Amino acid sequence: MTENNDTELVGVKEIARRANVSIATVDRVLHNRTGVSLKTKDKINAIIAELDYRPNIMARRLASKKVLRIAVLIPSVSSETDYWDAPLTGVSQAEAEIKAYGITVEKFLFDQNDKASFHAQARNVLKDYYDGVLLAPMFVEESKEFVEACQKRDIPYIFINSDVPGTNCLSYIGPDLYRSGYLGAHLANYLINNEDKILIVNISQEMDNHHHLLRKEEGFRAYFSENGKSMSIAKADIRRTDYPSVKKELTLALQAKDVRLIFVTNSRVSVVSRFLEESGIRDIVLIGYDFIKENIDYLKRQKIDFLICQKPQEQGYRGIMFLYNHLVHSASIDRTYYMPIDIITCENYQFYRN
């Protein structure tokens, strides 16, 4: 027996001696298992607090010889946006911190513009057994189907980036999408006059399924409605996401030439900025999302006025750590963990961390 195991056992023995119970009873309390009366549990917990006892998790995990497996089901980085590189970085950071405790993290990446790709990777997760799942639910109905299968197998799951109402997830880690859009409108209100026209741009092949875009739009519109402002708001839903198609749709949307502000609901704001720059349009305020390389390049040249950011790297990191704390420590987890909604400009982007 190693020194760490000796120390661990002595601690548990001392707690059992003071509480006048068996080591097995102390173990049940430490692991939050049933079968111990509330009175005895309170007595043991008081002794644990008095001794300032901290279980040696490393020794316990190694002694169990059971490998805990976490599946990560999120989009891959694409040629259109490298947004998902940030959550993947956060996942890898958390994975490096917990792998010594006998925990493995396996990544299943799908094309965010292809339901079939999601289905294929979801099936790959379900054909094996995992102790927990971290999921970015890009496709609402398909994600519901997947997590229902997880629930039948008693597999806890956590959402990042966007939530799916009506599901029993362990936690949602990400932005308040409605308030995020509301903030975008609040910014817009300072930048234009009441008679100016606003254009909301949604760029997504799966518009109807990507509800996170529509929630942002809903919040954006609500700001003006709730504050008694009858702004003229048009919308362009662009479902073909290659640049020539985006360029064609934006040309049509801006034909009236009276748009003063564009609000882009996702990370593809750099594509809109590219179009405005190539078209020689300089008098339109541009607000969009996410601290990624393409967007920063335009932001620092003042071609994008504001980026709204919601720490995607931290979402990935916290998602894995929440599952680790739940599976290993039986820790209680916040059902909703909102990320801050940060406003990034050309003056402060150098100091921001995702």
276 found inside a domain: yes
Q: In the Cβ-directed half-sphere of 312, how many Cα atoms lie within 13 Å?
A: 21
Convert the pLDDT of each residue in 13-34 to its tens digit.
888 889 999 888 987 887 777 8
- Give the DSSP H/E element, type plus range, for residue 191: helix 177-191
Residue 187 and residue 306 in contact, taking contact as beta carbons nearer than 8 Å: yes
12 found inside a domain: yes
Question: Other CB atoms closer than 10 Å to residue 148's CB: what's the count?
Answer: 11
* Mean pLDDT, range 309-325, rounded to an integer: 96
DSSP 283: S
Q: Is the pLDDT of residue 59 over 70?
A: no
183 shares its domain with 285: yes
Distance between CA atoms of residues 133 and 130, nearest Å: 7
- The tokens describing 197, both together, are 């026209």
Task: State how many domains the chain has.
Answer: 3
Burial label for 85, CB within 10 Å (0-12, 13-18, 19+), is: middle
Residue closest to 289 by CA, chosen among 232, 339, 225, 224 = 339
CATH number, domain of 44, equals 1.10.260.40
23: domain range?
3-63
152 shares its domain with 28: no
Residue 44 and residue 82 in contact, taking contact as beta carbons nearer than 8 Å: no
136 found inside a domain: yes
Distance between CA atoms of residues 203 and 196, nearest Å: 23
352 found inside a domain: no
Q: Is the pLDDT of residue 146 over 70?
A: yes
156 shares its domain with 208: no
| Average pLDDT over all residues of the chain | 90
Distance between CA atoms of residues 286 and 275, nearest Å: 12
pLDDT band per the 50, 70, 90 thresholds, residue 182? very high
86 shares its domain with 146: yes
Which of 63, 92, 107 is the C-terminal boundary of a domain?
63
Which of 63, 87, 112 is the C-terminal boundary of a domain?
63
133 shares its domain with 248: no
Amino acid residing at 60: R
* Mean pLDDT, range 156-173, rounded to an integer: 94
Amino acid residing at 49: A
The overall pTM is greater than 0.85: no
**Whole-number Cα distances in Å, 74 to 155, 188, 342:** 17, 32, 23
Distance between CA atoms of residues 169 and 147, nearest Å: 8
pLDDT at 4: 47
Distance between CA atoms of residues 81 and 34, nearest Å: 48
353 found inside a domain: no
91 found inside a domain: yes
